[in-house]
Chain A
Amino acid sequence: MRNTVSDGPRTTLTAFYWAFILYLLLPLTLMMAMSFKDANFVAFPIGDWTLDWYAKVMQDKQFLEACLYSIMIAAASTLAATTLGTWIAMLIVADGIRGRTIIFALACLPAVVPGMISAISLRIFISTIDMPTGTAAIILGHTVHAVPFVVVMALTRLRSMPRNLVDAARDLGADGVVAFFRVTLPYLGPALLGGMIFCVLLSIDDFVRTFFLGGYRPTLPMLIFAKVQGGMSPEINAMATIVLVVTAAVGLYAEFITRRARTR
């Protein structure tokens, strides 16, 4: 096969790609670099370097509490979203279901509605069912947000599943429930694990839903938002850097898992 892209455009495009990577990474790198600045205001050049801000963040009770709170919410909403998303996906692929397209469209609805509107509608919804704002409401909101992604991921995997696996299980005497837990669920496993990590990241990143549904206990994004509005300090940079490094590591791991699942 001949290469149709001549050298001119090829070099330009390569340069453009790397320029784009630079554009993506530069602000984050600057943000991380600033967390080592030995002064209590945010400005370039950095001058002296220090690790003090990290020491300060690590002793910041508010930050540690926000971390725990965020992780708790992420765990709860991920668990709920994974269960519901898988269940909905099973319904969509089931035999003899009418209105499959409608169910699928419904399942995807929260992903299409802009975040702000979804947050407001949920705020109204919880007040009509007399549910107070706070932890439970946040978990509910994050779950609604995450379900469509789980559904799509589970569906993709389910569609590649050989039909006869479940048939064989049924022939051997497993009822529907047993066949699901012993055959379908293990088959879905890797895709679901990737989906779960994605849900965790969605939940930890979410700002607008938490903003409308939350009470007085701040989650991580709420805390960072409040601090940014309150005035810049390298302490925020240190906080954001810690969060960034942890979420990036988790994201990379998720990417690794889903990739392995796809090739297997």
Chain B
Amino acid sequence: MVNSNTIAGDAAGRGASIPKYSTGIARIVNSAIYRHTLGAAVESRIGRVILLAGVPLIWLVMLHIGPIYQMLKISLLSHYPVQPGVESHFTLDNYAIFFRESLYFTPLIKSFIFATAATAATLVVVYPVAYYVAKIVKPEGRSKALLLLLVPFWAGELIRTFSVIMLLANRGAVNVLLREIGLIDRPIPMLYTSFSLGFGLVYLICLYMLLPLYSAIEKIPGQYLDAAADLGAGPFTRFRRIILPLSKDGIVSGCSLVFLTCIGVFATPMLLGGPNTVMFPETISGFFHGASDKWPVGAAFALIMLVTALIAAGIFMRLVGGKKGSAI
């Protein structure tokens, strides 16, 4: 009784007696520095709020919104970085340039077509794999089957892109193999074309499709499929009427993720693409390297790309997913 009273008293009116800790942390907690700084701060409500929310909120506002905000601001300026003697004023010209010149317009359209095609191809290729791991592999073996799929993704973006060159180059594995068999006399030019770029993109991003699909398909109860089979549905009907609708969430988030990644891929087109496959990111990057007074145009273009990409992903989510924001 007496004991419990003391403990309750301690917890209620702290400072009356110093709490006892069994380890070295006591020395920190009881030190004068701690008591006057952190210790004092957590005593008051405001102190606690500042301690908890201060750094996170500053970071989020400064560095998660700040850069996008600055980009927006600069995209509306006529000159940046500001040079002596040049007035910088508000203008919408940087956006107008984009719509005037097909030189800028075409890469964005190309980027969109490429990203859409790559997303579709990834979905078609990865879906059976995700289904296999989620439904056909026995539960004990699932993590091993997944792990095997994850291994290549520990190699970075650049190394994976580079390894695709080994496969597709004129003296790469595919061409040499085909020549050995005698199917071709001279190598098929595969590298530095849309094909190699598409191949490389799918290779690069299939994991982003795999994981959402896998987790969606895994959740589908096996009994549904059994019931459908009992009622006479064939494999195709079962797939179309049960598996596909129930894995919709996975499809939506996988596709959005892959699409947004594809749009922003920068190094891969530079290494695998050719002169015909200049993508929008490369166009934008041109404004930042070299003459620096083109920054506002680059910022405007980057914003155009961001907004159109997000709108496209949003429309897709709305169309397929039914409700907005169900995915990411």
Contact = CB atoms under 8 A, between A and B. Distances in A.
A43 B171 contact: yes
Contact of B306 (A17, A43, A114): A114
A251 to B, nearest CB: 4
Given A88-B56, A173-B11, A207 B229 contact: no
Nearest to A24: B152
B28 to A, nearest CB: 9
Contacts of B250: none
A205 B225 contact: no
Size class of B's contact patch?
35 or more
Contacts of A67: none
Interface stretch (A28-36, A53-61, A155-163): A28-36
Contact of A120 (B53, B155, B159, B302): B302
Contact of B68 (A4, A113, A172, A173): A113
B81 to A, nearest CB: 7
A205 B126 CA distance: 23
B154 A247 contact: yes
Given A28-B155, A91-B56, A176-B48, A211 B65 contact: no
A245 to B, nearest CB: 9
B288 interface: yes
Contacts of B328: 108, 112
Interface string A139-182: 01000100100000000000000000000001111111110011
Contact of A106 (B11, B39, B60): B60
Given A91-B56, A120-B71, A124-B299, A44 B173 contact: yes
Interface in A1-60: 1-2, 4-6, 9-10, 13-14, 16-17, 20-21, 23-28, 30-31, 34, 42-45
Interface string B259-285: 011011111001100000000010011
A10 B196 CA distance: 31
Interface in B126-145: 126, 128-129, 131-133, 135-136, 143, 145
Contacts of B228: 4
B55 interface: yes
A78 interface: no
Interface centre among B149, B167, B295 (most CB of A within 10 A): B167
A21 B135 CA distance: 17
B288 A212 contact: yes
Contacts of A106: 60, 64-65
B10 A173 contact: yes
A74 B284 CA distance: 27
Contacts, number: 268
B143 A259 contact: yes
Nearest to A28: B163
Contacts of A5: 135-136, 235
A21 to B, nearest CB: 6
A84 interface: yes
A14 B67 contact: no
B149 A21 contact: yes
A118 interface: yes
B222 A4 contact: yes
B266 A211 contact: yes
Interface string B275-319: 000000100110010000001001100100110011000000000
Contacts of B68: 109, 113, 121
Contacts of B309: 114
B222 A124 contact: no
A147 B63 CA distance: 11
Contacts of B81: 127
B110 interface: no
Contacts of A255: 147, 150
A185 B285 CA distance: 42
Contact of A17 (B66, B133, B150): B133
A110 interface: yes
B152 A175 contact: no
23 contacts: A5-B135, A6-B235, A9-B235, A24-B206, A31-B166, A84-B59, A90-B52, A91-B53, A108-B328, A114-B260, A114-B305, A119-B266, A120-B288, A124-B70, A125-B67, A147-B59, A173-B19, A178-B25, A208-B266, A212-B285, A240-B155, A244-B154, A250-B154
Given A2-B229, A240-B163, 9 more contacts: A26-B173, A28-B160, A43-B171, A84-B56, A120-B285, A120-B298, A177-B42, A201-B154, A207-B267
Minimum-distance CB pairs A-B, first 6: A114-B264, A205-B156, A251-B154, A43-B171, A121-B67, A173-B19
